[in-house]
Structure 1
Amino acid sequence: MTGAEPTVAPPVPLLNAANVLTAVRLLLVPVFAATVVAAGGMIHTGWRTAACLIFAVASATDLVDGWIARRWGLITSLGKVADPIADKALTGAALVLLSWYDRLPWWVTAAILLRELGITGLRFWVIRHGVIAASRGGKLKTALQILAITWYLWPMPTAAAVVGPWIMAAAVVITVLTGFDYIAQALRLRHRTR
């Protein structure tokens, strides 16, 4: 015997805390959307408050599921695919509904969604060459988007509501800039593996 046999880690079960939280986020998307619709064009403050709280809870599951997956080694192929889908579904639903009810210009929704879908597609395009990890800019982008959407959803007094477009403008700028950064990373990754 030449030494200790290498240990093989047991496979990570698909039904784990991180994946359950991702599933909860996906399930909250239609609940959130129905609550926004029930707000009657974003007029009924009680329903708007409920929609905002549902969005905030669903967004929080994104932070928690990633931390749990990394902390306890619960990263699965399903989680790698489902997590970004859940994120885009939640953010996309919020942006589309805000634009539908004339709270947010459609070009903002289009710019963010095109970037998000494009980068998600780009990640899948290069996945066999490696993983494009979320950068600090990407995390800042996510935080700004969540903050801006939450600001728009919450029934703010007029004096405070005017801050929302500034937060959203910052979110759009960071979203676009980080999009270019991810494209550069993907091209470098493919170039290195050729």
Structure 2
Amino acid sequence: MLTPQTHGHGGARVSTYNIANALTVVRLILVPVFVVLMFQDGTLWRLAAFAVFVVASITDHIDGELARRRNLVTDFGKIADPIADKALTGGALVVLSVLGELWWWVTVVILVRELGITALRFWVIRLGVIPASRGGKLKTVLQIVAICVYLFPLAVLPFSAQLLMVAHVIMGAAVAVTLVTGADYVVQAVRLRGRAGEAGGDAGA
């Protein structure tokens, strides 16, 4: 049976039903809302989809800060937060590609990297935790900024062609950082497994 409490930092019991986890759940709920809005015709619908994506992205920052500052880190949050993040950015990338506004190869590269790193986390989860790097955080910021530019109805703005080029450049940078940080994570995971294997060999010697 699931318990509404879990151990936080320092052994203190933290309720799963807290504001940080609530924001994570809200972000998950906003994903299908965003997708539905994206497939509606009209500038106002597109602006609504843009607004939903921005709000959902902001909750990602807020729930993480709340969890750390108020010691609201829970097992549910550790699992649900990255799922919500990937659902939001992945959903946006797929929808943009379906609508012909973003190259499919970009979406595939990013999604394969994200899913691959998730699998690696499970591969090494019992051996240790590889902390999020600055590159990983930069990757997330670049992806969100680029997606926001793509989502906004640029046709209503002057210099829309130039703004679209800016979106392409930012997304290109996001893809590059995505690949570099992904490779770095693979190297760290392999080293972690190797050290664990050596420790096991020494213990059996």
Tell me the TM-score normalised to structure 1 length.
Answer: 0.91
Q: Match for residue 23 of structure 1?
A: 25
> Once the 2 structures are TM-superposed, how far is the Cα of residue 161 of structure 1 from its aligned partner?
2.0
Q: Which runs of 5+ in 2 are unaligned?
A: 1-9, 155-159, 198-205
> Once the 2 structures are TM-superposed, how far is the Cα of residue 135 of structure 1 from its aligned partner?
0.6
> Once the 2 structures are TM-superposed, how far is the Cα of residue 18 of structure 1 from its aligned partner?
1.1
> Once the 2 structures are TM-superposed, how far is the Cα of residue 115 of structure 1 from its aligned partner?
0.3
Q: State the AA in 1 paired with 2:161.
A: T
Q: Match for residue 202 of structure 2?
A: none
> Once the 2 structures are TM-superposed, how far is the Cα of residue 76 of structure 1 from its aligned partner?
0.9
Distance across 1 between alignment mates of 2:175 and 2:192: 26
Matches within 5 A, 1:17-166: 17-38=19-40, 40=41, 44-156=42-154, 157-166=160-169
Distance across 2 between alignment mates of 1:183 and 1:67: 27
> Once the 2 structures are TM-superposed, how far is the Cα of residue 74 of structure 1 from its aligned partner?
1.0
Larger RCO, structures 1/2 (Cα 8 Å, 6+ apart): 1
Among residues 166, 171, 176, which one is paired with 1:173 in the alignment? 176
Q: Match for residue 185 of structure 2?
A: 182
Q: Match for residue 196 of structure 2?
A: 193
> Once the 2 structures are TM-superposed, how far is the Cα of residue 167 of structure 1 from its aligned partner?
0.7
Which secondary structure does the structure 1 equivalent of 2:128 belong to?
A: coil
CA RMSD for the aligned pairs? 1.2
Q: Which runs of 5+ in 1 are unaligned?
A: 1-7
Q: State the AA in 1 paired with 2:99.
A: Y
Q: After the TM superposition, which segments of 4 or more aligned residues of structure 1 sit over 3 Å from their partners? A: none
Tell me the TM-score normalised to structure 2 length.
Answer: 0.86
> Once the 2 structures are TM-superposed, how far is the Cα of residue 83 of structure 1 from its aligned partner?
0.7
Alignment: residue pair count: 183
> Once the 2 structures are TM-superposed, how far is the Cα of residue 162 of structure 1 from its aligned partner?
2.0
Distance across 2 between alignment mates of 1:11 and 1:87: 26
